[in-house]
Amino acid sequence: MSIELAKKVAWTILLQKGNDFNQTRHQVKGFYARGRPICDKEMLDEVKALPPIHTMIHNHTMIPTFEDKFADWISENMFNNIKGLENYQPDISQGATQSFDSFYIKHGHKKIKMFFGEYLYHIVVRQKLNMPYDFITSYDELQEGDALVLSVPFCDTGNLDFDLDKIFKHCDMMNIPVLLDCAYFPIAYNIEIDLNYECIDTVCFSLSKLFPIAHARVGMRYTKKGFEDGQKLHSNINYDNRISAGIGLHFINKFRSDYVVEKYILAHKKFVKAFGLKPSNTILFADGDDTWIEYGRHDILKAYGLEDDWKQYHNRLCFTELYENLSIAEEVINVYN
Amino acid sequence: MSTIKLKFKNINSVNNKAPQMAVHVNSKELYKGLVLEQHVIDVDLQEQNILKIYFINKEDPDTVIQDGKIVNDLNFELENITLDKHDIQDLIWKGQYVSKDNVIPSCLFFGPRGYFELHFEYPILKWILKTNHEDHNDDPTWEQDYNYYIEACQLLNKIQKK
d(CA A288, CA A30): 14
Q: Name the percent of chain A lying above pLDDT 70.
A: 99
pLDDT band, residue A1 (cuts 50/70/90): low
State mean pLDDT over A1-8: 89
A228 located within any domain: yes
* Domain coverage including residue A17: 2-41+258-336
pLDDT band, residue A76 (cuts 50/70/90): very high
DSSP A204: E
Of A11, A16, A328, the CB nearest to B149: A11
Both A263 and A233 in one domain: the answer is no
Q: Give whole-number Cα distances, B77 to A300, B25, B36, B53, B145, in Å.
A: 44, 19, 11, 11, 34
Q: Does B59 touch chain A (CB under 8 A)?
A: no
CA distance B86 to chain A (A): 10
State mean pLDDT over A194-222: 98
Please report residues of B whose CB lies closer than 8 A to that of A331: 159
State mean pLDDT over A23-30: 93
Both A276 and A228 in one domain: the answer is no
**B18 neighbors B48 (Cβ within 8 angstroms):** no
Report pLDDT digits (tens) over A222-232: 999 999 999 99
pLDDT of residue A293: 86
Please report residues of A whose CB lies closer than 8 A to that of B85: 20
Chosen domain end from A219, A235, A254: A254
CA distance A39 to chain B (A): 22
pLDDT at A249 over 80: yes
Both A194 and A266 in one domain: the answer is no
Both A241 and A164 in one domain: the answer is yes
pLDDT of residue A313: 86
Of A16, A21, A331, the CB nearest to B149: A21
Q: Does B145 touch chain A (CB under 8 A)?
A: yes
Tell me which chain B residue has its CA closest to the CA of residue A23. B149
pLDDT of residue A296: 80
Least-confidence region, from A290-304, B41-55, B73-87, B96-110: A290-304
Chosen domain end from A237, A254, A271: A254
Both A248 and A273 in one domain: the answer is no
Q: Give whole-number Cα distances, B26 to A139, A193, A298, B23, B94, in Å.
A: 73, 73, 48, 10, 17
pLDDT of residue B26: 98
- Are A12 and B125 in contact (CB < 8 Å)? no
Instruction: Name the average pLDDT for chain A.
Output: 95
Both A209 and A127 in one domain: the answer is yes
pLDDT band, residue A305 (cuts 50/70/90): confident
Please report residues of A whose CB lies closer than 8 A to that of B152: 8, 11-12, 15, 24
Of B85, B146, B156, the CB nearest to A12: B156
Instruction: Name the average pLDDT for chain B.
Output: 96
Both A30 and A134 in one domain: the answer is no
Please report residues of A whose CB lies closer than 8 A to that of B148: 7-8, 11, 28
Kindly tell me the burial class for residue A311, based on how many C-beta atoms sit within 10 Å of its own C-beta (0-12, 13-18, 19 or more).
exposed
Both A143 and A174 in one domain: the answer is yes
Both A307 and A192 in one domain: the answer is no
pLDDT at A300 over 90: no
Q: Does B150 touch chain A (CB under 8 A)?
A: no
pLDDT of residue B124: 97
pLDDT at A16 over 80: yes
A48 located within any domain: no
pLDDT of residue A312: 81
Both A162 and A242 in one domain: the answer is yes
State mean pLDDT over A136-145: 96
Q: Does B65 touch chain A (CB under 8 A)?
A: no
pLDDT of residue A51: 96
Both A174 and A283 in one domain: the answer is no
Report pLDDT digits (tens) over A83-118: 999 999 999 999 999 999 999 999 999 999 999 999
For an interface test with A, the pick among B85, B159, B161 (most A C-beta atoms closer than 10 Å) comes out as B159
pLDDT of residue A218: 98
State mean pLDDT over A168-180: 98
A47 located within any domain: no
pLDDT at A75 over 70: yes
Q: Which amino acid is at A286?
A: A
**A48 neighbors A333 (Cβ within 8 angstroms):** no
A213 located within any domain: yes
pLDDT at B34 over 60: yes
The helix (run of H) or strand (run of E) holding residue A22 is helix A21-28
A325 located within any domain: yes
Per-residue HEC secondary structure of A152-202 comes to: CCCCCCCCCCCCHHHHHHHHHHHCCCEEEECCCHHHECCCEEECCCCCEEE
State mean pLDDT over A25-38: 92
Chosen domain end from A222, A238, A254: A254
pLDDT at B108 over 60: yes
A54 located within any domain: no
A250 located within any domain: yes
Q: How many structural domains compose chain A? A: 2
- Are B159 and A331 in contact (CB < 8 Å)? yes
pLDDT band, residue A308 (cuts 50/70/90): low
pLDDT band, residue A299 (cuts 50/70/90): confident
ipTM of the complex: 0.83
Residue A88's CATH number: 3.40.640.10
Both A96 and A243 in one domain: the answer is yes
pLDDT band, residue A135 (cuts 50/70/90): very high
Strand-pair category, B38-43 with A218-224: unpaired
Of B85, B125, B151, the CB nearest to A8: B151
A196 located within any domain: yes
Tell me which chain B residue has its CA closest to the CA of residue A5. B148
Can you spell out the DSSP letters for A34-101?
-------HHHHHHHHTPPPHHHHHT-TTHHHHHHHHHHHHHHT-SS-EEE-GGGEEEEEEETTHHHHH
Interface of A with B (CB under 8 A): 7-8, 11-12, 15-16, 20-21, 24-25, 28, 328, 331-332, 335
Handedness of CA B25, B27, B32, B34 (dihedral sign): positive
For an interface test with B, the pick among A4, A12, A24 (most B C-beta atoms closer than 10 Å) comes out as A12
